[in-house]
Chains A and B, each alone.
Chain A
């Protein structure tokens, strides 16, 4: 089954809506709690990335019998050096964003830790596309 959501850059108040909705669906499908938690954490991080850095984005979710695939696509500044961004503590978030408690540089590493497959494609000045896959046990 498929779900889609849009994310508005800079709207921290509503960050977390797609992850909550996805969680609700996974709970109804009786997916085990640990897997749900991983998915929700990873998706929330991805959402916050869009909110903190990009202008706008979309979340598309495809749930199949044995796995969930999530694409988070944004129009934004893009990531120049993905490898560097994958390191814990690396952050390009502005001072304001950090003061709100976001942008501690744990985004991508946390997404990696909580997904079975993670792919990131990015073009500077255009945007970033993140694909995450989690398998159900």
Chain B
């Protein structure tokens, strides 16, 4: 699959969006504005963290996905998925039944992505041992965090660890294994099921690479439903040989502290995008000393809190922790079980570079930018400062910035408008029209069934 520039998986369904401003307030990069009564995402700014999706009371955000039928084009059809998925299924189904269910859906090979994880651990440790790499080294595991750093903390881009994620590892591993079985490369189709919209985006437009290794992305919720339709209620033939390379460490990898427990003498793990933002502010101010490894995850409870999951995140964590105990330590899995060339595989985990992509700049011309910022500052003085969002921007400051960037007008602020009316600067009729333009005519009708009525979807 060739890389698409700036791809984002989240879309807004205009039929469902009620323009309630919840998403706009939750977004960590102020990427959302309400225009004509609908949420609009600025794709330059979006980092795919999913906060908007979570905060939406009407489920207006949906995720674009590839059609499962696409797998039919391949002789070897590989499903790659993170361990988290196993934690979704009801307790009465065991791993063997789930694996066999995935095959019934149409896949020929089933690979959990966190294997053989020791390779990734070794590779990251190699990276950390190099004194030239800036500390604290920041994991690149969570693509939403990587994009956040590139855009909002560009100077910290150099702290990102230049190593790929488990799904890349497993993809290469799966290919090598199938080639050993006698498959041709073009007969192998790799499909990646994920609970994560940021992973979808990072697979469709990879950071630091032109081509993506997988052929399709599967929404984990969707796959879960498909498997549940066909899963066997009775014991099926043992298939544990397919999990020979899975380890305790691998199963825990996508949970909070899944990485940090392995690296550095002083490491910190942080989950939840707003917690991450607060910490990165400090780090950028050079107020964090002596830490050598940072695991930062956008979702609360890390990937167990990914947005395309069915189960409760805390129950998922508990289930995975129990599952992990049944598996051997990664160190105890012998190279002969892995069977492919380990050094070659390790080479494939290296990323060349991750460049900063500053999002919040006011243009390249510094004098003009300063002029704009001074104007924005002056505008803020006249705004009420209650950050109500009725103008369609997340806060007064953002509105002022939009104004100097010619994306908004003074009259978008309903307070200013009210004042102007009082001062006789505009007519009441014109003021009403302005608000209607922003929020649509329906907003003003008394209608107990209107979209956004009390309790809808809450």
Contacts from A to B (Cβ < 8 Å)? 1, 16, 19-20, 23-25, 27-30, 33-34, 36-37, 40-41, 44, 63, 65, 136
Contact = CB atoms under 8 A, between A and B. Distances in A.
A37 B158 CA distance: 13
Given A28-B361, A33-B155, A36-B155, A1 B370 contact: yes
Contacts of B366: 29-30, 65, 136
B154 A33 contact: yes
B281 A20 contact: yes
A1 B286 contact: no
Interface residues of B, number: 20
Given A20-B285, A30-B366, A44-B287, A25 B358 contact: no
Given A29-B362, A36-B155, A44-B286, 19 more contacts: A1-B370, A1-B374, A1-B377, A19-B285, A20-B281, A23-B284, A23-B285, A25-B373, A27-B360, A27-B361, A28-B360, A28-B369, A28-B373, A29-B373, A30-B358, A30-B362, A33-B155, A37-B286, A41-B285
Contacts of A16: 285, 287
A36 B362 CA distance: 16
Contacts of B440: none
B356 interface: yes
A28 to B, nearest CB: 5
SS class of chain A's interface: helix, strand, loop or mixed?
A: helix
A62 to B, nearest CB: 11
A23, A29, A36, A44: most-surrounded residue (chain B CB, <10 A): A29
B367 interface: yes
13 contacts: A16-B285, A27-B154, A28-B360, A28-B361, A28-B369, A30-B358, A30-B361, A30-B362, A33-B154, A33-B356, A34-B155, A40-B285, A44-B286
Nearest to B401: A28
Contacts of A29: 361-362, 366, 369-370, 373
Contacts of B360: 24, 27-28
A133 B182 CA distance: 67
B364 interface: yes
A71 B127 CA distance: 42
Interface of B: 154-155, 281, 284-287, 356, 358, 360-362, 364, 366-367, 369-370, 373-374, 377
Contacts of B356: 33
Nearest to B367: A65
Contacts of B367: 65
Nearest to B281: A20
Contacts of B373: 1, 25, 28-29
A89 to B, nearest CB: 17
Nearest to A66: B366
A27 B358 contact: yes
B298 to A, nearest CB: 21
A41 to B, nearest CB: 5
A37 B286 CA distance: 7
Contacts of A41: 285-286
Contacts of B361: 27-30
A65 B374 CA distance: 13
Q: Give the top 9 A-B pairs by smallest Cβ distance, nearest first.
A: A33-B155, A30-B361, A1-B374, A41-B286, A40-B285, A28-B362, A1-B370, A29-B369, A28-B360
